[in-house]
Amino acid sequence: MSVIAIFGPTASGKSAVALELAGMVGGEIVSCDAMQLYRGLPILTNQPSAADRERVPHHLVGVWEPDHEGSVAEYAEMAHAAVDDVIGRGRIPIVCGGSGLYLRAALADMPLPPQAEADVRRIAEQLYDERGPAAAHATLAAVDAPAAAVVHPNDRRRVVRALELAESGHTLAASESLLWSADTRHPTLVAGLAIQPAETARRIAARTAAMFAAGVVDEVRAARAAHVFSSTAERIHGLQDVSALISGEIDREEAIRRLETRTRRYAKRQRTWMRRLPDVRTVDAVRDPRAVAGDVAGWA
């Protein structure tokens, strides 16, 4: 197998499994975590530690400044180069992360539609925010019925993106069909880490508490002082909650509660992604990471 991919809900142990697996198969980790692409927020984005990077080479972690306006297309180009480089040196790329779209972008050739102009995006966002999800989705159905059929009204990001594309003469429906294709650039094993929602919630609570104990508030305060964040960086998971705490809008307890709730919702979406991934082989993740990695290595 040329490439191994590790996917699963947040807090399922992907990073720990990937580290163990890399040691077993002679691998290097290529991140497909959209949040970890940004530097300056290692605690908030759960980036690998210096010890982990010393143990196993990691690619595409902390490569963008917070003011960089990133895109899936740019990431795909970097990911393909990283994967090909690892293979070219006789090692196995382990594509690991919880961003489903970035996972597919790393593994496959996906012709991606162009980025929208800022004013087009702003109009689409205003429509969604001011008139509501139902009205925005109805507008999408009127201008691009196939895209509306594959996007839920409550998925703000994708409704806005579909409206942007419709305005420029493209459709989200075309990329949706490619998204769930089994085609990959190299022979690939996709391993999905299975974990029950209750256990996920327990781990999310523990990890959130650890982030605050490790100084995530000071980290975000320093990053905010040093940078103007791009619109893509502003979507970093938990940034809104910690920023609201810093500005005095909420207290620490509420910030923690919001972050835990947001993370549980994200994990639910990731489980949905995993069920739809083509040819995924699921493995029980509620075990020692080395045992999980051993199962995956046995499939490769």
Q: Which domains occur in the chain, in start order?
A: 3-108+181-299 (3.40.50.300), 118-177 (1.10.20.140)
Instruction: Report how far residue 11's alpha carbon sits from residue 263's, in angstroms, rounded to the nearest whole number.
Output: 9
State the DSSP code for 67. T
Instruction: Report how far residue 6's alpha carbon sits from residue 162's, in angstroms, rounded to the nearest whole number.
Output: 28
pLDDT at site 122: 86
**Alpha-helix residue ranges (DSSP H) falling in 215-288:** 216-226, 239-246, 252-276
pLDDT at site 148: 87
Mean per-residue pLDDT, 129-144? 91
pLDDT at site 82: 98
Residue type for position 4? I
Mean per-residue pLDDT, 56-63? 97
Radius of gyration of the chain (CA): 19
- Choice between 45 and 167, residue whose per-residue pLDDT is larger: 45
Q: What is the pLDDT of residues 116-136, one digit of tens each?
A: 677 888 888 899 999 999 999
Tokens in use for 127?
A: 């429509």
pLDDT at site 185: 93
Tokens in use for 276?
A: 């739809």
pLDDT at site 121: 81
Q: What is the pLDDT of residues 238-260, one digit of tens each?
A: 999 999 999 999 999 999 999 99
> Is the distance from CB of 47 to CB of 223 less than 8 angstroms?
no
pLDDT at 173 over 80: no
What's the mean per-residue pLDDT of the chain? Answer: 92
pLDDT at 209 over 60: yes
pLDDT at site 231: 84
Mean per-residue pLDDT, 262-270? 93
| Percentage of the chain modeled with pLDDT above 70 | 95
Give the SS3 label for residue 139: helix
Q: Which residues contact 254 (CB under 8 A, 6 or more apart)?
A: 245
pLDDT at 33 over 80: yes
> Do β-strands 27-31 and 188-194 pair in parallel, antiparallel, or remain unpaired?
unpaired
pLDDT at 113 over 90: no
- 39 sits in the region (left: phi over 0; alpha: psi -120 to 50; else beta) called beta
What global pTM score does this model have? Answer: 0.84
pLDDT at site 68: 94
pLDDT at site 34: 93
Tokens in use for 125?
A: 């966002």
pLDDT at 51 over 90: yes
Q: Which of 184, 131, 119, 192 is nearest to 156 (CA)?
A: 131
